[in-house]
Chains A and B, each alone.
Chain A
Amino acid sequence: DVKVTQSSRYLVKRTGEKVFLECVQDMDHENMFWYRQDPGLGLRLIYFSYDVKMKEKGDIPEGYSVSREKKERFSLILESASTNQTSMYLCASSLTGEDTQYFGPGTRLTVL
């Protein structure tokens, strides 16, 4: 079974802090994604990566950056956390040529 893990289930940070959210998948998937999920807005794509060291902006990249130094790991970085980044963050991965995305359990981030 594909397993996607995220470093924290719950995280509380202060405004202005630098925040790292880590995602690891164990199935050698080329593609990895970061979404945020907010009530009434569904899932919105922040960034994705289709290969090591490659990244592409999604729909809402402002205030975020990403890093993919190894194939299995995709990190989301909030350079200076703000209260409007309080949200549920979901990581997903997929194999190129296949449409199914496999999701991690999510990180609920609260920025105070």
Chain B
Amino acid sequence: SQQGEEDPQALSIQEGENATMNCSYKTSINNLQWYRQNSGRGLVHLILIRSNEREKHSGRLRVTLDTSKKSSSLLITASRAADTASYFCATDRSGTGNQFYFGTGTSLTVIP
């Protein structure tokens, strides 16, 4: 499979703590995205990082990318109960321009 894999599969933390989830992938990429999915809903785009970038921030989100290790991490700082959701990484498929492989997701629970 060309899919990315998120680690851990599930994560439970207290409100206010930081949450870190990781994504590993198999092939060279142009960019990597993170999406969020609330239970039973569609995915919502969070952030995109390009292969020539090492770190990117958006609000309480921090994404890193290590292309030599074919891995990325998503850090959510000062977590809130509303951050409870599943988080997916998506990597572009070589040569397609607009298709992506989605990972299997990390289920995050933030306990109030």
Contacts and interface: CB of A to CB of B under 8 A. Distances in A.
- Which secondary structure characterizes the binding site on chain B? strand
A23 B102 CA distance: 20
A105 B88 CA distance: 16
Interface stretch (A13-21, A38-46, A65-73): A38-46
B102 A42 contact: yes
B104 interface: yes
Q: Which residue, A88, A94, A99, A102, has most C-beta atoms of chain B within 10 A?
A: A99
The range of chain B's interface size is 20 to 34
A35 to B, nearest CB: 8
A42 B88 contact: yes
Contact of A43 (B33, B45, B97, B102): B102
B52 to A, nearest CB: 14
Interface string A68-99: 00000000000000000000101010101001
Interface in A18-58: 31, 33, 35, 40-43, 45, 48, 50, 58
A45 B98 CA distance: 12
20 contacts: A31-B98, A33-B99, A35-B102, A40-B104, A42-B3, A42-B88, A42-B103, A43-B88, A88-B40, A96-B97, A99-B33, A99-B100, A100-B33, A100-B45, A101-B43, A101-B90, A101-B100, A104-B42, A105-B41, A105-B42
